[in-house]
Amino acid sequence: MSKSQHRAQLSHDLIVGMQVCVVRVLQVLQISYQHIVIWLKGGNLRSFIGLFLVGAILSLAIASCAGNRAFSQPADIKLKLVSFSVTKVAHDQIIPQFIAKWKQEHNQNVIFEQSYGGSGTQTAAVIAGSQAADIVHLALPLDVNKIQQAGLIKPGWENRSPRNGIVSKSVAAIVTREGNPKGIKTWADLAKDGVTLIAANPKTSGIAIWEFLALWGSVTLTGGDETTALNYVTKVYKNTPILTKDAREASDLFFQKNQGDVLINYENEIVLGKKTGAKLPYIVPSVNISIDNPVAIVDRNVDQHGTKKVAEAFVDFLYSKAAQREFAKLQYRPVNPTVTQEVVSQYPQIKTLFTSQDLGGWDLIQKKFFVDGAIFDQVQAAKKVSAI
């Protein structure tokens, strides 16, 4: 709805409210008329009491009208946003802009409650009810699908927002130490002896799933078979002594505590690290995966909280040029076509960019790689055996 439409709606609501008030006062007067006449014909004391009661009745009617005018100054509304760890910096810039816009258009304050953490952990918390999210902005569609399967989000969530529900994008990048002493240039180099990789855990982190799929797809989508891919990722994870719970913890371990030779992370997270002083070289492999971050309204919760309208407006705002430019400033790859054209030259070009669909889609990916006993668990088991 445009600003002019919002103003017209507000004016209409005010006029309707005034009409309701007038009708209510007239109804009170009509009902009281006969009693007023009788009271006034009586003695002085009775007349005084009658007039006093009339005044009280009218005061109550007017007060009731004033209460009905509250729609013109609605109470504050709270909105709970649950997101994955590395989006906080972007939302810190976007949310104040939305709050100001909503206030101007609706004369209502929106108070955001925010939570950030590993995407898998956040998803589990929403399903369990410990995070009563109105909106989720997660690291991968698989996590939104899990919330849908739990009955909190209606099927077809990806069709209710632009770009199939994807609101931010990135690709995978490899960070090395100064001078790149291990000679890391491609995905294949991560399997070399003597390389220590810092990575997150796919059981709790969205980036961990994306990096696993990037490793696997770098083999299977460039001519290699699945046996070759399994051997390769097994070697890579043997080079990974610790799996952190999320992308931010992996970054802190690598940048702040100086652990590991190599870090795989979101391209945008690495750029943010450079802005905060962690100026280390990184490679964006020319064979890469499109890291697609979805947003969705948690239908059951917005219905219970009465926040559906403002939640829908915030999701729409995330696709706006203003919000997408904030994502782009932090090196996310925007999904708004206008903003994409504005910043396309700022990003390294990818020769082979594959997606989750190229790997079979999320249902197959989950069953094949990440359920208990699937390929990732097999890789971890092989890692433990080799360590004995």
- Mean pLDDT, to the nearest integer, of 304-326? 98
The CA distance from 205 to 251, in Å, is 13
Cα–Cα nearest to 315, from 298, 332, 301, 329: 298
Residues 6+ apart with CB under 8 A from 96: none
**What is the torsion angle, in degrees rounded to the nearest 10, for the CA atoms of residue 292, residue 297, residue 300 and residue 304?**
150
Q: Which of 50-59, 189-198, 292-301, 311-320 has the lowest mean pLDDT?
A: 50-59
Answer whether residue 308 shows pLDDT above 60: yes
The CA distance from 376 to 372, in Å, is 9
- Mean pLDDT, to the nearest integer, of 134-153? 97
Stronger pLDDT, 272 or 109, i.e. the higher one: 109
Residues 6+ apart with CB under 8 A from 350: 171, 284, 286, 287, 288
Answer whether residue 26 shows pLDDT above 70: no
Answer whether residue 53 shows pLDDT above 80: no
Give the per-residue pLDDT at 36: 46
Give the per-residue pLDDT at 255: 86
Average pLDDT, the chain: 85
Residues 211-259: tens digit of each pLDDT? 999 999 999 999 999 999 999 999 999 999 989 988 889 888 998 899 9
- Mean pLDDT, to the nearest integer, of 151-167? 95
Give the per-residue pLDDT at 27: 54
Q: Within a 10 A sphere around the Cβ of 147, how many other Cβ atoms?
A: 24
Cα–Cα nearest to 327, from 165, 88, 123: 88
Q: Tell me the backbone φ, ψ of residue 170, rounded to 5 degrees.
A: -155, -175
Cα–Cα nearest to 377, from 245, 233, 251: 233
Confidence band, pLDDT 50/70/90 cuts, at residue 121: very high
Answer whether residue 285 shows pLDDT above 60: yes
Give the per-residue pLDDT at 3: 43
Give the per-residue pLDDT at 25: 44
**Whole-prediction pTM value?**
0.78
Q: Which two tokens stand for residue 230?
A: 């399994």
Give the per-residue pLDDT at 276: 67
Stronger pLDDT, 271 or 116, i.e. the higher one: 116
Confidence band, pLDDT 50/70/90 cuts, at residue 117: very high
Cα 11–Cα 16–Cα 19 angle in degrees, nearest 5: 130
Answer whether residue 45 shows pLDDT above 50: no
Q: Which two tokens stand for residue 202?
A: 């796919």
Answer whether residue 176 shows pLDDT above 60: yes
Q: Which two tokens stand for residue 139?
A: 């690291």
Answer whether residue 116 shows pLDDT above 60: yes
